[in-house]
């Protein structure tokens, strides 16, 4: 869930549209493309492709489709060639005369109660010639359209890479990286991680079955990921289309329909990194997920790796973001609002203790364009005692952010998100 900074969006649209024309943008999720799916103002434009009523507190859940400018038709052939190669490799003995064709690309936005934008993804539609019923949707895992999602991923990966965790081995598939995502939305965070990190094993917890259905039916998330209450796959085997689109990735995605607190209390898993992005239909982060005395926070620590475990939380910021982001670290620190400070302290005390431990640190960074902040709590690294200690942490994070960019071949720079109003939680 994200809040747009209160700017004149129409004038922003004009500036961003000019930016698109004037420069080459490699990142298809660049914020310069936001006018294509935001629609301008408070109105929700686009074609409704999914609509359902939630019984889990999210009201009306809908998905809207919007045209997108990238990739253009000249590049569609590349996707068709990739699909044909995948088909031949996965089903070498199966002959078929029809070739794969790309029908186009769209933005898909997930909404609660027709006004809150919960998630934004890009999908590709493809089919086999002569088989109109073979149309399938594939979410473009490399395309992260919303800045707060990039901030969560950049901060999380740079932080865990700074600890006693061999991130390179995980990227190459030589070591597992156990990841938990609390809150699913359209599934962009887990899909990006599973696609980019070959050793990633990603568990996703989503309380609302309607949101799960929306992500699969209208946002191109792999259906083979769904797990039943018994702990087994909802589908014993993926269908041909899913195998072609997702083989090598969907086997490492496990999507649970569960309450987050219940899942954590019953879990015996140990996670290397946990992403929390859980907002309801009223755009509220449930109190039980940040109450310092809640069973959730008390049990969360038991699921987190004791040496390098990292938790990243998406928060709606309540502090002044009109600050000089070009000077991201220094004294005095960027002020926190009461809400962000309270949530940050709750997580820090629950996961790191109230100051008795010599290890672990917590910090927040602000998100460009949006009234969001990313909170990071990490059990690795020595606990900074003064400004020089925090400078060491910050410099290490910046260095690791550059390494992550290269290892993962990031479509955006992690560094720009790490250094944006970096604020220690003391």
Is residue 157 assigned to a domain? yes
pLDDT, mean of residues 124-149: 92
Is residue 4 assigned to a domain? no
What digits encode the pLDDT tens for the residues 100-117? 899 999 999 999 998 788
Residues 6+ apart with CB under 8 A from 206: 183, 184, 212, 255, 256, 257, 258
Is residue 113 assigned to a domain? yes
Residues 133 and 235 in one domain: no
pLDDT category of residue 3 using cuts at 50, 70 and 90: low
pLDDT category of residue 293 using cuts at 50, 70 and 90: very high
pLDDT category of residue 357 using cuts at 50, 70 and 90: low
What's the predicted TM-score (pTM) here?
Answer: 0.90
Total count of domains within the chain: 2
Nearest to 412 by CA among 153, 172, 37: 153
Residues 166 and 305 in one domain: yes
Domain hosting 276: range is 147-424
Backbone Cα Rg of the chain: 21
Is residue 298 assigned to a domain? yes
pLDDT, mean of residues 297-311: 96
pLDDT, mean of residues 49-77: 94
Residues 151 and 127 in one domain: no
Is residue 164 assigned to a domain? yes
Q: State yes or no: pLDDT of 320 exceeds 70.
A: no
The CATH number assigned to the domain holding 269 equals 3.40.50.150
Indicate the residue among 102, 119, 139 that finishes a domain.
139
Residues 117 and 152 in one domain: no
Residues 163 and 226 in one domain: yes
Residues 133 and 153 in one domain: no
- Give residue 52's pLDDT: 97
pLDDT category of residue 230 using cuts at 50, 70 and 90: very high
Residues 253 and 307 in one domain: yes
Residues 242 and 387 in one domain: yes
Nearest to 35 by CA among 55, 53, 57, 12: 12
Is residue 1 assigned to a domain? no
Residues 206 and 113 in one domain: no
Q: Do residues 343 and 375 make contact, with C-beta atoms less than 8 angstroms apart?
A: yes
Q: State yes or no: pLDDT of 43 exceeds 60.
A: no
Residues 128 and 229 in one domain: no
Is residue 309 assigned to a domain? yes
Is residue 2 assigned to a domain? no
Percent of the chain with pLDDT over 70: 86
Nearest to 255 by CA among 185, 303, 327: 185
Residues 6+ apart with CB under 8 A from 280: 57, 58, 112, 286
Q: How far apart are CA 221 and CA 218, in angstroms?
A: 8
Indicate the residue among 139, 155, 177 that finishes a domain.
139
Residues 416 and 324 in one domain: yes
Residues 379 and 272 in one domain: yes
Nearest to 249 by CA among 209, 205, 190: 190
Q: State yes or no: pLDDT of 294 exceeds 60.
A: yes
Indicate the residue among 111, 139, 167 that finishes a domain.
139
Phi, psi of 113 (to 5 degrees): 55, 30
Q: Do residues 80 and 100 make contact, with C-beta atoms less than 8 angstroms apart?
A: yes
230-to-226, 269, 414 alpha-carbon distances in Å: 12, 16, 38
């Amino acid at each position: 869930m994200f809040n747009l900074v209160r700017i004149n969006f129409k004038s922003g649209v004009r500036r961003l549209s000019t930016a698109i024309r004037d420069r080459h943008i490699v990142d298809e999720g660049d914020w310069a493309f936001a006018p294509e799916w935001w629609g301008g103002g408070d109105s929700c434009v686009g074609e409704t492709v999914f609509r359902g009523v939630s019984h889990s507190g999210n009201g009306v859940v809908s998905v809207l489709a919007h045209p997108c400018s990238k990739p253009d038709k000249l590049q569609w052939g590349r996707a068709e060639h990739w699909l044909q190669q995948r088909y031949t490799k996965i089903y070498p003995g199966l002959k078929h005369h029809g070739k794969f064709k790309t029908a186009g690309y769209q933005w898909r936005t997930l909404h609660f109660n027709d006004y809150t934008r919960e998630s934004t993804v890009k999908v590709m539609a493809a089919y086999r010639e002569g088989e109109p019923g073979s149309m399938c949707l594939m979410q473009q895992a490399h395309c992260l359209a919303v800045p707060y999602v990039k901030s969560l991923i950049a901060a999380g990966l740079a932080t865990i890479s700074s600890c006693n965790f061999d991130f390179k081995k995980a990227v190459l598939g030589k070591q597992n990286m156990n990841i938990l995502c609390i809150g699913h939305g359209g599934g962009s965070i887990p899909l990006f991680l599973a696609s980019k990190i070959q050793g990633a094993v990603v568990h996703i917890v989503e309380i609302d079955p309607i949101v799960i259905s929306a992500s699969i039916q209208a946002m191109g998330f792999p259906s083979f990921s769904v797990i039943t209450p018994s702990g087994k796959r909802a589908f014993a085997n993926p269908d041909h289309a899913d195998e072609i689109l997702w083989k090598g990735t969907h086997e490492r995605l496990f999507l649970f329909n569960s309450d987050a607190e219940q899942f954590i209390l019953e879990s015996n898993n140990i996670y290397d990194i946990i992403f929390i992005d859980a907002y309801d239909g009223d755009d509220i982060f449930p109190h039980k997920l940040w109450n310092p005395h809640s069973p959730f926070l008390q049990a969360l620590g038991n699921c987190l790796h004791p040496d390098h475990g990292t938790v990243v939380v998406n928060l709606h910021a309540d502090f002044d973001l009109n600050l000089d982001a070009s000077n991201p670290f220094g004294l005095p620190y960027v002020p926190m609002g009461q809400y962000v400070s309270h949530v940050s302290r709750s997580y820090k005390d629950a996961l790191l203790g109230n100051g008795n431990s010599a290890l672990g640190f917590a910090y927040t960074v602000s998100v460009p364009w949006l009234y969001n902040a990313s909170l990071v709590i990490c059990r690795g690294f020595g606990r900074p005692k003064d400004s020089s200690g925090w400078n060491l942490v910050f410099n290490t994070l910046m260095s690791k952010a550059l390494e992550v960019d290269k290892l993962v071949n990031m479509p955006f720079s992690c560094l720009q998100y790490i250094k944006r109003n970096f604020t220690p939680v003391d």
